[in-house]
Structure 1
Amino acid sequence: MTTKVAFLGLGAMGAPMAVRLVRAGYDVVVWNRTAARAEPLTTLGATAAATPAEAVAGAEVVVTMLSDPAAVTAVAEAVAPALRPDAVLVEMSTIGPDGTRHVRELIPASVGMVDAPVMGSVDRAASGALAVLAGGTPRDLARVADLLAVFGTVTECGGPGAGSARKLVLISGIVAGVTVVGETLALAERLGLDDPRAVLEASPLSGLAARLFADGVDFSAEMAGKDLRLAGEVLDLPVMAAARQVLESAPDQDADLGAAVRAVNQKR
Structure 2
Amino acid sequence: MTETTTGAAPRVGWIGAGRMGAAMAERLAKAGVDLAVWNRTAAKAAPLKKFGATVSETIAGLRDRDVVFTMVSTSEDLERVLLGEGGLLAGERCPAVVVDCSTVSTDASEALRRQCAERGVDFLAAPVSGNGKVVRAGALSIVVSGPEETYAKVAHLLGHIGASVTYVGEGDIARLVKIAHNLMLGVVTQTMAEITVLAEKGGVSRNAFLSFLNDSVMGSVFTRYKSPAFVNLDYTPTFTPILLRKDFDLGLAAARKLDVPMPVTAATAQLVQASVGSGRVEEDFAILLDLQAAASGITLKPEDVSVDDGLGAADEAARS
Alignment correspondent of 1:235: 255
User: Percent identity of the aligned residues?
Assistant: 28
Deviations 1:97-142 (A, max 9, x none): 2221122133243100111111122122113321110111111111
Give the distance between the partners of 1:13 and 1:185, measured in 2 at CA.
29
Verify: 1:226 aligned to 2:246, yes or no. Answer: yes
1:39 aligned counterpart, secondary structure:
helix
Give the distance between the partners of 2:190 and 2:107, measured in 1 at CA.
25
Alignment correspondent of 1:147: 157
Report 1:71-110 matches (<5 A).
71-77=77-83, 78-82=87-91, 84=93, 87-109=96-118, 110=120
Alignment correspondent of 2:180: 169
Q: CA deviation at 1:250?
A: 4.8
Give the distance between the partners of 1:155 and 1:84, measured in 2 at CA.
30
Contact 1:182-1:212 at 8 Å conserved across structures: no
Contact 2:10-2:34 at 8 Å conserved across structures: yes
Alignment correspondent of 2:168: 157
Alignment correspondent of 2:316: none
Deviations 1:10-69 (A, max 9, x none): 011100111111111111111111111011012332221222222x22110010011111
* CA distance 1:232–1:49, shift in 2 (3 Å): same
Contact 2:63-2:94 at 8 Å conserved across structures: no
Unmatched segments (≥5 aa) in structure 2: 1-7, 230-235, 257-261, 296-320
* CA distance 1:136–1:25, shift in 2 (3 Å): same
Alignment correspondent of 2:210: 197
Contact 1:117-1:133 at 8 Å conserved across structures: yes
* CA distance 1:248–1:92, shift in 2 (3 Å): same
Unmatched segments (≥5 aa) in structure 1: none
Contact 1:59-1:84 at 8 Å conserved across structures: no
Report 1:62-77 matches (<5 A).
62-77=68-83
| TM-score, normalization by structure 2 | 0.76
Give the distance between the partners of 1:188 and 1:116, measured in 2 at CA.
39
| 2:289 aligns with one of 259, 262, 268 | 262
The residue type equivalent to 2:123 in the other structure is: M
Report 1:204-223 matches (<5 A).
205-207=218-220, 209-214=223-228, 218-223=238-243
Contact 2:37-2:53 at 8 Å conserved across structures: yes
Deviations 1:211-246 (A, max 9, x none): 432569722222222211211222254224224224
Alignment correspondent of 1:137: 147
The residue type equivalent to 2:167 in the other structure is: E
Report 1:43-54 matches (<5 A).
43-54=50-61
Q: Whose Rg is larger?
A: 2
More moved, 107-116 vs 77-86: 77-86
Verify: 1:118 aligned to 2:128, yes or no. Answer: yes
